[in-house]
Structure formats: C-alpha cells, structure tokens
Structure 1
Amino acid sequence: MSSRLPAREVGAASDPVRRLSRRRLLRHTLATAGALLAAAPLSACSSPASASGASSLSVWDLFQGGDGMLMDDMIEAVSRGAEGFDVDRTILDWGPSYYTKLAMSAAGGRASDVAAMHLSRLAGYAPGGLVDPFDLDLLAEFGVTPKDFAPAVWGRTQHEGTVYAVPLDVHPFIVFYDKEAADTAGLLDPSGELAPMGWPEAFLDAGRALAEATGQAGVLFGHVTDTAQNWRLFAALYAQTGAAFTLPEGGPPEIDVDAAVRVVTFMKQLFDGRTNPNNLDYNGALAAFTSRRGGMAMLGEWELPTLKKAGIPLGAAAFPQVFDEPAVYTDSHSFVLPHQKDPDPARRREAHRYVAEMLKQSLTWASAGHIPAYQPVLAEPEYAALDPQASYADAAKVAVLDPPNWFVGAGSNFQNRMCQPLQSALLGNTSAEKAVRQMVREADALLRQPNPVA
C-alpha cells in the first residue's frame, strides 16, 4: 500500500439585556437558524451598531451559557473607567447559522466591528475577503505582538502571510481522569499528575489498569452519532505519527494511508468493547465518568465546569503522546474583523484596542477550562494556581487544528463526514483499512465542490 495515496486512486442567557458598563446596555440578540434564513436580505444584516448609537463598538459572538457569562464579565471589565468601551454585543446561536450570518454581513461590507470565529474556520473567510486583516503595528501599540502566542497557533492566523485573526484561547481535546482510580492503577508520577505513556501498548495497559481499579470501565469515549468526536481522536493520534493530512485546492487529498490505518487500528484496539466501551454516545460517556463508572474520559476541556460540579477527585492532562511526536488536537476561539466596505479609521483603531484589552482579561476565560492564547496570562501566578487547568497548558505548544480549506473547521460537514467511517470501525462494522479509504473518498468529494466564496 502506498504511504501517500491520492483519493482518486482509491476510488472515485435568560435576561435579554444586561448592564455591562456605567454608560450603556449590552444588547443580547439570540438568533436561531430559522430566523437567519428568514432574515436573508443582506440589508437586514447591516449596521448592527445602529440600534445603540454610532459610538458603540459592535461585537458578534456565539458564547452562551457559562461561556457567555464569562464573556459578559470580561466585557464589563474593559468597559470601566474613562477609557472603557461602549459595547453593543450580539449573541448568535453556535453552529452553521452563526457562520452563515457572519458571511452574509461581511459580504455586504456592513458587518460588526469585531466578531468571534473558530480559527479552524478562517480558511473559509480570509481568501474570499470576508474578514479584514489586522494591523500588527496597532496591536503592538496596545501591548500585543506575535511573540505573545504559541507559534503552533499563531501560524494559523494568517493567509498568504497576512494576519486575519487574533486568538483568544486554545481549547484542546484532552483526557480527564479520576485521581483515585489513576493512583490505584499506578498511572501517576511522583507529583500526582498523569505520567507519560510514550507508546500505544502503554495506553492499552492504562485502560486495563483503570478498568481493574474502578471495577467497571477503563477509558470512556462518547462518539456514537456525534459529528466531531471521532475526528478529534483520530486527528490527535494521526498528527502524533508525524504524517501530513493536507487538502490542496482541487484535490486530491494528501493522506498517509499507512499512518491512518495504524491510527484507526489502535483506536479499535483501545475501544475494544470490553476494557473500554466502544458504543457510548457523548452524554453517556460524560454521565459514566461523573458517576465514577470509568477511570478516564476523552473530552474537550470545555467540559471542566460540568466535571468540577460532579465532585469527583478530578485530574486532567494534555492528550497523551503514544506515537512518534507530541500533538494535541485543538481549536481556538479568535477575534476577527469582519469585512466592511469603508471602515472608519477611528473605529478600527478602537477595535484593535478592544481585542488587546480582552486578551488581557483572559484569566477570567481560563476559569472555564480554556487555555489563554495570550501567553503573558499563562505566566501569571493566578493561572499557575488553577487546578487542573495549569496541568494541560502545554497543549497549546503542540496544537494541531483541522487542515485548512474552506469546508473544514468546527461544526463543519467535513468533520461529520470523517466521523462516519471512523464510527463504523469502532463499532466493529468495518475494518481500519476500509474506514480510511472511505475517509479519503469523502475528503476528495469535498475537494471537488466549488468554493462558494471564491
């Protein structure tokens, strides 16, 4: 089998208004996907700041629930004092509806001043001119420079050498573990943290040891019917092999099939349906871990608040290295400047200052589990005291995001189509080889589709 196989050779918030500063109200607009479609005329998407006056800085994001309240707190902090911001915040539903609305408003050139975007989605916006570049000199004037970010993350902020996004966080796919079970299983180092594993058999042994320690399951992974979980696990392990997964325009995809089969074979061995269940959905795995029916769970760090409420002796670690190189699958909530036809220089300057000031508030954001992308915050004693957040902070240094292309990223159909053959393999319905070949065919089919904003 060829180690680099082109696909075409394989086969063809409850209170809608909340006061966040002494001068203004933040408007919280919750939009559903249906409302987005109903609001299709582009003029309806324009000038979001007009409702609260021209002086306010309009900001769009997708943060609701606990994250939404933390974002409120950060905005309130930067809105205090004589130099504080007047912020008109609009919250839209997470998912395709958010990115549709953002694209529509940017295409009209009358979007918000600042918006949140998953960094993995940038490749679908920057090439088509839907977001405007940042002025690095302006950011530096406000205390933010490229050296303040992990190179692995900062490298994905650019298109053709120009910076179009500024990361707020890194949110990795990690492991949470029951400290008592891990201690009994002999998996902790002298400092009480999860010891390195280093090779696949060590992870398999860890699952067996955790199952013996708990008397039930070892490692829990909820993937059935989920549109992203299998891809997160595969992408982390595949990156650890050192192989490239690239999606060049027009295709075919460039995937090391041997490495991919090696990874899927390991996934099937790990989730054997005996030591570690192979048939859990996301909520089932989460419930099993919080009720101590398993010793370890593979989850996004964003589940930290839920797990802390469960009251279990909780530990966390960056995703263990089991192949040749350290790598952790991540994404990043980032700030972008949606395209405007004729941006006012003073407002653009304020937008840069706003982004810089929000980064400096990201210790608040870290309380939910997110790793601050702005590294000076990681150096603060208050961050080092966060438990277990500080134990996986180094994941940002080895961050791996989705391969860039217009159809990939958080909530995308690409992730869903990668997950389906992987799920079939874990459930025992197909072989690792067949699953990988199907993944390559799916990637090739997506590459054949025209970019709607090219």
Structure 2
Amino acid sequence: MTGRFTKFAATVAMIAGLASPAWAKVQVEWWDFLAGGDGVRMKALIQQFNAEHPDIEIKGTTLEWGMPFYTKVRTAVAVGEGPDIMTYHLSRLPLALEEGVLSPITDADLATAGLSKEEFFPASIAAASDEAGQLMALPFDIHAIVLYYNKTALAGSKWLDTDGNLTGLESVEDMTELLTWAKEQGFSDPLSFQTAGGGGTWRTFYTLFTQQGGQLVTDGQVLEGDNLAKATRAIQILADWRAAGLIPEQAEYEASVALFSGKKSILFINGVWEVPTYKDQSTAGTLGFDWSANEVPQLLDQRSTWADSHGFAIPNDPNMSQETRDAVLTIIGWMEKHSLAWGEAGHIPAYKPTVDSAEYQGMEPNATYAVLAETAAFDPRTRIAGVASPVYDAVDNLIAPAVHGFLSPEDAALQMQEQLQSLLD
C-alpha cells in the first residue's frame, strides 16, 4: 500500500510541475571532528554544497576530536549505526584497517567522484592506501608543521633574504646560532613550540628524526638498528636547546602560540592551521610585527617535515545503498574541487589542481611552504602511531621529560623502544 501511495504522490508532484519532490532528496549523514576555524570553514562548504545540490542534503554532526571521535566511529560502525561519510586522519589508517571500519574506494568510485589518483600528491595517496595499494580514503589536505618567524625582528640579519624568506639555516648549529642571537636580542624563549608534550613535541621530534632518515617501525621492530641512535640524537638536540634556554619550559599548546604573538619567541614551530590566527591578528593590527612561515629548514641529512592529512572516508556498511554511496562520492568530488577555501585555513590541499591554481599561488605564505608536500613525512604506518595513539603517550611520558632534563635522551629512546615494542609483540 505504501509503495502504491508513494508512486501516486510522485506522479501528482510531477503533474504539478515539481521535478524533484522533497522526499526524493538523498540525505547523507556526515561526521567530522573539526572545531575552531576549520569547523567554520567546513560548515560553510557544507552549506554551499547543499545550496547547489537540491537532490542531496548533507546532515552534519561534529564530534570531539581525537580518541572520543575514533572510539565513537569504531563502536557505531560495528553495530551498523555509523555515518555515510566522515573525516579521518590518515595517520589512523593502519588502526582503521585492523578494525575493519573503512570501505575501500575503487577506481569506479573515483570515476563517480570525477577524480583520479594522479590528481593528488603521491605522499598523501600512499598514506590513504593499504599495503597492497588499495585506496581506503581520499586525502583532503596535507597539514604539516611549518616555521613561523618574526620578519620585523629578523630584518637586516643574515637569516632573512631579500624576498623575506628565512635563509642560512642548513644545520643544527646554524639554528642554534640564530636562537642564541635572538636570546641576546631580548627574546626570552627564542624558539617556541608545545614543549610540554603532546602533538607539538611529537611533530618536532619526528621531523628531526626523519631528517636523519629515521624509521620508527621497520618489519614490526621499533627503533631497530641505528634508528635508536637517531631517535636519541633528535631528543638530544631538543634537550640541548632547552638547557641553553632557547626553547620554553613546559609550554602547553596555547602558551606556545602566545609566546610568538607576544614577541617572546622569534621563531615558532606549529601546524599550518595557525596561519589564519596570525593573518587575522595582522589584519586587525593587534600583532605588532610582520611575520611569515616557511618549510621547516633541513637541519640534518635530508628534507623532511612531519605531516598528516584530513581525509574523507566511507564507513564499512554493507547495507549502504548505491544511491547513498553515489551521493557520498559526489560530495567528495565537489569538496576536493572546492578545496581552495580549505587552503585559506592554512592547509595544503591534497588535490594538486587547487595548489597549481593562480588563486592558491597568490595565497601567502601558503604557496611558499606548499613545496613541503613533496617531502612530507607521515606518521609511521603502524597501529601504535597516529592521532591519540600510544606514540603520543610515549612522547608525554618519555620524550618530553627527557627534553626537560628529567631523563637522559638515551634512556628515553630505549624505554620508548621497549614500551612500543611490547604493544606490537
């Protein structure tokens, strides 16, 4: 009876001139973890998509970032109550594969989305794929750490070139010289980052570690061979800077941001997501100095910078209709092709046509540091790494204390090796 009534109602609607009756709209359940400026921009993109697509409606829900989000996804997907599409950190992909929460994205899916793998940066596609090369998510951005700097304070020094970019930083010794000079100029904490632990300490450590060619996990073994010595060296560099008063003591995230904006630090290592913060302050005239951001310099053996990606993933739901899946793929394709707005949040769009566009190339400092997408060092491909993982616990319990002199770098690296290995054995 219901089916006959629906057909009758649709016929009446068509006779009345309504080409797309309201109940024919595909509703897509969307989950993300995006707060702050990222959340504002994503909500604006969702609104624009909905306005342009009368046949598809994104119903968005924002959940708490980190472990709460991924726990919710795991439990919801397990009982068939997950969303139709969700944002996902690609650093969490190995654990997602183990949990079986993601649906593979096929070449046919890409065609439906109007996309191809070749249109994305290779590093982000690799991070979005399983070991066999099967795509499990679509990368939306590459968000890395960059080096923010006070251009006003560096003006006339040997560390600023004629284009206003940092120069002359080709070794740890070069960086130490600049920081020591800045200390003498009255900057109490010359290089700021989140030194108390957490993401900031991990990202800085991992950049120095991978600049030595370090690999956290190889063939299931943590810090095998000379990787232990490389981890020790990375910790030692940070500990030496702390001992010399060149980085702050126990700075939490918010404090590390304030040290740079408050002219206590001449340099600041943080994610590209803080670019809008300083752009807004500059526009409002509240910052008090000129600034910019460059790729973290190569201080050791090779160019490398910690990075992660926000991606779009489809939960593993065998009951999802083809109509809903096609709508999800339409959303993903549209979002990728409108990622210039996401670039305004500081992120490097993973979709190369956006980065190559004249609009993005005119966006500074974004266009300058976008080169790091070619040498981005994603978190190790292991279930113990990634956002809100045991690696973060090791940073809080071992690396940060060693940086602050409570543990030797050697002991910290060795205990990190032992603790993480026990989780893989």
TM over 0.5: yes
Of Structure 1 and Structure 2, which has the larger fraction of its residues in helix?
Answer: 2
Contact kept in structure 2, 1:278 and 1:427, CA below 8 Å: yes
**Matched pairs, number:** 395
What is the CA–CA distance in structure 1 between the aligned matches of 2:73 and 2:346, rounded to whole Å? 26
What is the CA–CA distance in structure 1 between the aligned matches of 2:199 and 2:48, rounded to whole Å? 34
- What residue number does 1:254 align with? 224
CA deviations on 1:383-421 (whole Å, 9 max, x unpaired) are 122222222111211111211222321122321223321
Letter in 1 for 2:210: A
Cα offset, 1:108, TM superposition:
2.2
- What residue number does 1:330 align with? 307
- What residue number does 1:389 align with? 366
Counterpart selection for 1:142 from 85, 88, 113: 113
What is the CA–CA distance in structure 2 between the aligned matches of 1:407 and 1:243, rounded to whole Å? 17
Cα offset, 1:234, TM superposition:
1.0
What is the CA–CA distance in structure 2 between the aligned matches of 1:196 and 1:444, rounded to whole Å? 39
Letter in 2 for 1:205: E
SS at match of 2:198: coil
Letter in 2 for 1:76: Q
Letter in 1 for 2:316: H
Identity of aligned pairs, percent?
Answer: 28
SS at match of 1:271: helix
Cα offset, 1:149, TM superposition:
1.4
Relative to structure 1, is the Cα distance of residues 288 and 184 closer, same or farther in structure 2, using a 3 angstrom cutoff? farther
Contact kept in structure 1, 2:158 and 2:167, CA below 8 Å: no
SS at match of 1:125: helix
- What residue number does 1:405 align with? 382
Cα offset, 1:358, TM superposition:
0.5
Pairs within 5 Å for 1:136-285: 136-159=107-130, 160-195=132-167, 197-224=169-196, 226-246=197-217, 248-249=219-220, 251=221, 254=224, 256-285=227-256
Pairs within 5 Å for 1:3-14: none
CA deviations on 1:217-251 (whole Å, 9 max, x unpaired) are 32122321x322221111111111012221645x5
Cα offset, 1:366, TM superposition:
1.3
Name whichever of 404-413 and 326-335 sits farther off: 404-413
Letter in 2 for 1:441: E
Contact kept in structure 1, 2:192 and 2:256, CA below 8 Å: yes
Relative to structure 1, is the Cα distance of residues 402 and 366 closer, same or farther in structure 2, using a 3 angstrom cutoff? same
Cα offset, 1:103, TM superposition:
0.7
Relative to structure 1, is the Cα distance of residues 317 and 112 closer, same or farther in structure 2, using a 3 angstrom cutoff? same
1:108 and 2:79 correspond: yes
| CA-atom RMSD in angstroms | 2.1
CA deviations on 1:413-435 (whole Å, 9 max, x unpaired) are 32122332111121112222111
SS at match of 2:402: helix
Cα offset, 1:196, TM superposition:
5.2
TM-score by length of 1: 0.82
Cα offset, 1:54, TM superposition:
7.4
Contact kept in structure 2, 1:114 and 1:335, CA below 8 Å: yes
What is the CA–CA distance in structure 2 between the aligned matches of 1:304 and 1:386, rounded to whole Å? 11
Contact kept in structure 1, 2:112 and 2:326, CA below 8 Å: no
What is the CA–CA distance in structure 1 between the aligned matches of 2:176 and 2:36, rounded to whole Å? 36
